[in-house]
């Protein structure tokens, strides 16, 4: 199920990218301009007087373990659901890419099934994982915890990389759990600002540049 969810996320992004590209092509050929956008909630509540307003993209940590975020998007799910996706690169210069995805509204349990047989725990948060590549789904190693999971591309795993992924998740879990439970009244505005300044704001801008109309970049206040 988790492997299918990951593929579904990637498929949704691919379809939206094709739609946006097609719209831009029509505009360049002299056709009527289309205003295409994946509608998703961009913020919760009103702007905070002490810092930036809380945004769903703020659930993504700028840096975890040896991973740093490079691009970030919002994708509208079914009903009122929203999927937040961040692409991360290793700081060792590797071309391997990790993808961190979280879902709104939050869930209390990790989405675990037979594809993620390894049971893990980060503090008091239960998680599950798949260490090896899945040839059938062409999916790489992954770790899931409540509302979120992080995965590697097929063929970019290995035991050493999985251990690095575990260290990254140990950093990510406290942040994602805090932000998933946050409201405008309870969110730590200064922590949000530091996280954005550390790379999330730039990542959201890159998301906009790569797929215009799909991700509204964060407010840089």
Q: Is 158 exposed, middle or buried (0-12, 13-18, 19+ CB in 10 A)?
A: middle
Confidence of residue 3 (pLDDT cuts 50, 70, 90): low
In a domain, 215, yes or no: no
Q: What is the pLDDT of residues 118-162, one digit of tens each?
A: 999 999 999 999 998 777 777 789 999 999 999 998 887 678 889
Q: What is the pLDDT of residues 181-197, one digit of tens each?
A: 988 888 899 999 999 99
In a domain, 48, yes or no: yes
Q: Looking at residue 66, what is its pLDDT? A: 93
Q: Looking at residue 169, what is its pLDDT? A: 97
In a domain, 196, yes or no: yes
In a domain, 33, yes or no: no
- The DSSP result for 112-151, as a single string, is --TT--EEEEETTEEEEEE-S-BTTTTEEEEEEETTEEEE
pLDDT > 80? residue 17 = no
By residue range, what is the domain housing residue 66? 40-208
Neighbours of 171 (CB within 10 A): 16
pTM: 0.75
In a domain, 12, yes or no: no
In a domain, 29, yes or no: no
Q: What is the pLDDT of residues 27-78, one digit of tens each?
A: 333 332 222 223 333 333 333 445 678 899 999 999 999 999 999 998 887 7
Give Cα separations from 49 to 18, 53, 63, 180 (angstroms): 39, 9, 26, 21
In a domain, 32, yes or no: no
Structure-block tokens of residue 205: 């801008």
- Residue with the larger pLDDT of the pair 191 and 4: 191
Q: How many domains does one find in the chain?
A: 1
């Amino acid at each position: 199920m988790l492997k299918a969810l990951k593929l579904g996320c990637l498929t949704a992004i691919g379809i939206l990218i094709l739609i946006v590209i097609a719209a831009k092509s029509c505009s360049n050929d002299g056709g009527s301009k289309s205003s295409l956008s994946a509608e998703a909630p961009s913020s919760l509540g009103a702007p905070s007087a002490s810092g930036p307003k809380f945004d769903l993209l703020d659930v993504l940590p700028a840096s975890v373990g040896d991973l740093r975020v490079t691009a970030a998007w919002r994708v509208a799910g079914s009903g009122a659901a929203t999927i937040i996706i961040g692409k991360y690169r290793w700081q060792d210069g590797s071309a391997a890419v990790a993808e961190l995805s979280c879902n709104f509204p939050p869930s209390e349990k990790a989405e675990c099934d037979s594809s993620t047989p390894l049971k893990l725990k980060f503090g008091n948060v239960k998680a599950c994982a798949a260490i090896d590549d899945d040839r059938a789904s062409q999916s790489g190693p992954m770790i899931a915890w409540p509302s979120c999971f992080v995965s590697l591309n097929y063929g970019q795993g290995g035991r050493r990389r999985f251990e690095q992924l575990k260290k990254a998740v140990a950093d990510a879990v406290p942040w994602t759990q805090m932000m998933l439970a946050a409201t405008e009244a309870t969110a730590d505005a200064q922590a949000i600002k530091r996280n954005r300044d550390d790379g999330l704001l730039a990542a959201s801008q890159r998301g906009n540049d790569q797929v215009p109309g799909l991700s509204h970049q964060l407010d840089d206040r």
